[in-house]
A and B are shown apart, each in its own frame.
Chain A
Amino acid sequence: MASGKKVLLKVIILGDSGVGKTSLMNQYVNKKFSNQYKATIGADFLSKDMVVDDRLVTMQIWDTAGQERFQSLGVAFYRGADCCVLVYDVTMPNTFKTLDSWRDEFLIQASPRDPENLPFVVIGNKIDLENRVVSYKRAQGWCHTKNDIPYFECSAKDNINVEQAFQTVAKQALLQEADVELFPDQFPDRIDLKSNDNKPKSDCAC
């Protein structure tokens, strides 16, 4: 049984419009798939509790909320990400080509402390379709040149490999949190408006 304190992992999911980012999230967290394409509406982030390497973690997967459509993702979206999932559509070569720039964009905007080691996971989606264009070899090759990014080929529709891909995402993200101090001297200074709201302390003396 996992013990110790719960870890929150923030994962962001990037890639061109229509590659199936929301579908992948949805398939992984809600086990649901909708065939009908609609620009992401209502998708914000989804949370999933899981056990990784004997630790209880909550993985938050953040969707682009459609702001990527006109290249209008703000820098705030990238704050504090522990892992970045890059998604392309195996039937659309352009979506593969832009992975490079999405990766760069992430490194620049998220400005991680240690950009060399910030984990990525690449997902080639829609392998259920017959008109595949980008080959496994080509994608795997690209990932290899980028510090051996783990690569998964998935189908959000048929739920192929989705679970495995996100397990890897969680593992990779957890590496970022590995050396969390047990009792930091500065106790929760970051304020979450809802949870830190000072409740009136009961006047009972105990």
Chain B
Amino acid sequence: MHGRVKVKTSAEQQEEKRKERQSKLKIFRKVINAFFNKVSKEEYDNDGLEITKQILASNSDYSSMWNYRKKCFANSEKPKSEIEAMLNSELTFIESCLRNNPKSYGCWHQRCFVLLKLKTPDWKRELQLCNLFLQFDDRNFHCWDYRRFVCSHSNHPLKDEIDYTNKLIESNFSNYSSWHYRSKLLPEVYPDSSVGNKIAERKLLEELELVQNAFFTDPNDQSAWFYHKWLLGRGHPMQSILSLHVSRFPSTLTCTLRKPIKEEDCQQALVRVNGTVISGKWKPHSSACYMNTWTFTPHEKIGTGLISVSCQVDGVETQITMEIDDNEALCCAKNTIETFCESSSDAKLLVLEEELNSCRELNELEPDNKWVVLTLVFLMKAIDPIRFFSEMKELLKSLCIIDSKRSCYYQDLHSKYAVENWIICADLQSRKADLRNKGITRLCHVEFLVGLTHLDLSHNKLKALGSTFLVFPWLQELKADDNEITEIDGLKALPSLITLSLNSNALSSVELLSCLSTCPNLQHVSLKSNPVSSCEKDYFKNFPFRLTL
């Protein structure tokens, strides 16, 4: 008859495996003992290299062994050419370890060590190695890190790296790593030569098109949307003086900057009166390390008469003129749309408008996709935040429903845009702010509002008056009626506050009001229609202000 194949039974195979494992374990124990023996005797020699190789080949996470090897190379007294050869063979060894475990910290660190130690490192080869491992797994962050290490130590053109991210994105655009790397490379390779935007506009428009293709292909993929948001967002705003306030009595100068600075930087600032530098002391507005608002007290009082005061700080300068009769003067910078977003050429606006239209189409197709709606908002904001404001408001409202888990984020976003728009249009010089009925949940950009004497935040959705309120040195009247305020711990030591109105809020306990006692000039506090019960009236007797419940 016909022969048939006999196959080992599972028991036979298991037995074989068990024996194999046992003998492996035996070897492992022996080698580990030998290793510790070497370490304790501080013997860093070839023998030790061989021992550690045996373990690392199968377990590359044993970092003590890598460290031992580093010492071997560092302590070796062999001729340089021989060490160079040893290091090169170490690279081959690391590579074989990486093939087993491409995410081993030990391996990648060892590789960095070896390359820095080599006299003539072959960076090109290292880049190829990165290509290889990223092809295995394009999200291997060890390898991405190593790639950046390689690029920073070789003169590999960064433009080639952009091309490389192109390739990866083309094969799989759902990859944060590639997009992220791109966002790091572009500002370096295509810097903006003119207005301090993030990247050259020509490139920006190309990037917008690229990423648009990604989110139209798969609108549920976050990485593309994040990259898009990065593109639309502005670079860091340039430093500028938002407002300068001078007072003769008491003699102070208060300067508010767009970007916070440290005390050291502030002490460098120069204050001139009629062109003459005067000395004095800068103090921050609170104890934080970085501050926007700084107050200068001159050693000698600021004189009378028509004077011109200038302040030069952190590379920017502004000037203010005081009339003879004025005791104080405030100068606020003019704000435009560009205060809050990157400047756009006509060409860019055209592209953005086109993109807005295609996103509207996409929104029709996918009404429930939050990324589309959110991007519509970002686009409108980038094109013209004033013209589109009511539409943006509606979109953000719908986002609160589509993506209810993040409704607070959307509300805050709306608040930010509302305040920005107000700032763009407002006459800050008047020192009065009417921010009623804006649907605000959070007051942001307070650094623009520092000079205010009157602030009305009534009929909004504020939940708390927190530490952002600490910055109002001249605020006399604060109204925040008809909000949802439960906490007011930011209303502390406001030097000029006289009237505070918090009617129709959610303040529930008298203890919450204790901070108000630190406001020296507070005279009227109105707390009508709050849960605070009138039976606790006695508690307020000690307060120096009149309380209306």
* A interface, CB within 8 angstroms of B: 1, 3-5, 38, 41-42, 182-183, 187, 205-206
Contact = CB atoms under 8 A, between A and B. Distances in A.
B54 interface: yes
Interface in B197-216: none
B517 to A, nearest CB: 50
Nearest to A4: B92
Nearest to B130: A183
B176 interface: yes
A183 B93 contact: no
Contacts of A5: 95-96, 99
Contacts of B4: 41-42
Contacts of B131: 183
Contact of B5 (A4, A42, A187, A205): A42
Give the 5 A-B residue pairs with the shortest CB-CB distance, closest first.
A42-B5, A183-B128, A41-B3, A187-B135, A3-B93
A206 B6 CA distance: 45
Nearest to B136: A187
A69 to B, nearest CB: 14
A206 B135 CA distance: 15
B164 to A, nearest CB: 13
A179 to B, nearest CB: 16
A38 to B, nearest CB: 5
B39 interface: no
A205 B140 CA distance: 9
Contacts of A3: 53, 89, 92-93, 96
Contacts of B57: 1
Given A1-B53, A5-B95, A183-B132, 9 more contacts: A1-B54, A3-B89, A3-B92, A3-B96, A5-B99, A38-B3, A42-B5, A182-B128, A183-B129
A4 B96 contact: yes
Contact of A1 (B50, B99, B128): B50
A4 B95 CA distance: 7
Nearest to B93: A3
Nearest to A202: B139
Given A3-B92, A4-B92, A206-B139, A187 B50 contact: no
A159 B53 CA distance: 35
B388 interface: no
Interface residues of B, number: 24
Interface of B: 3-6, 50, 53-54, 57, 89, 92-93, 95-96, 99, 103, 125, 128-129, 131-132, 135, 139, 141, 176
B125 to A, nearest CB: 8
Contact of A41 (B5, B93, B176): B5
Most interface-central of A3, A38, A41, A205 (chain B CB within 10 A): A3
24 contacts: A1-B54, A3-B96, A4-B92, A5-B95, A5-B96, A5-B99, A38-B3, A41-B3, A41-B5, A42-B3, A42-B4, A42-B5, A42-B6, A182-B125, A182-B128, A183-B125, A183-B128, A183-B129, A183-B131, A183-B132, A187-B132, A205-B139, A205-B176, A206-B103
A42 B4 CA distance: 7
Contacts of A183: 125, 128-129, 131-132
Nearest to B103: A206
B225 to A, nearest CB: 15
B282 to A, nearest CB: 45
Contacts of A182: 125, 128
B139 to A, nearest CB: 7
A150 B512 CA distance: 98
A29 to B, nearest CB: 14
Contacts of B92: 3-4
A185 to B, nearest CB: 8
Nearest to A56: B96
A195 to B, nearest CB: 13
Contacts of B5: 41-42
A76 B6 CA distance: 26
Contacts of B6: 42
A41 B125 CA distance: 48
Contacts of A205: 139, 176
A67 B176 CA distance: 54
Contacts of A1: 50, 53-54, 57
B538 to A, nearest CB: 57
Contacts of B141: 206
A183 B128 CA distance: 7
Contacts of B99: 5
Contacts of B176: 205
Nearest to A43: B5
Contacts of B54: 1
B244 to A, nearest CB: 47
B102 to A, nearest CB: 12
Nearest to A204: B139
A206 B4 CA distance: 49
Most interface-central of B96, B129, B141, B176 (chain A CB within 10 A): B96
A5 B100 CA distance: 11
B137 to A, nearest CB: 8
A42 B132 CA distance: 38
B134 to A, nearest CB: 10
B72 to A, nearest CB: 15
A2 B89 CA distance: 11
Contacts of A187: 132, 135
A42 B3 CA distance: 9
A86 B4 CA distance: 27
A33 B7 CA distance: 17
Contacts of B3: 38, 41-42
Contacts of A42: 3-6
A5 B132 CA distance: 14
Contacts of B128: 182-183
B184 to A, nearest CB: 17
A38 B5 CA distance: 12
Nearest to B137: A201
Nearest to A188: B135
A65 to B, nearest CB: 12
A151 B458 CA distance: 102
Contacts of A4: 92, 95-96
Nearest to A39: B3
A46 to B, nearest CB: 14
Contacts of B135: 187
A205 B139 CA distance: 7
A206 B176 CA distance: 10
A3 B92 CA distance: 7
B313 to A, nearest CB: 42
A124 to B, nearest CB: 27
B466 to A, nearest CB: 33
B136 to A, nearest CB: 8
A26 to B, nearest CB: 13
Contacts of B50: 1
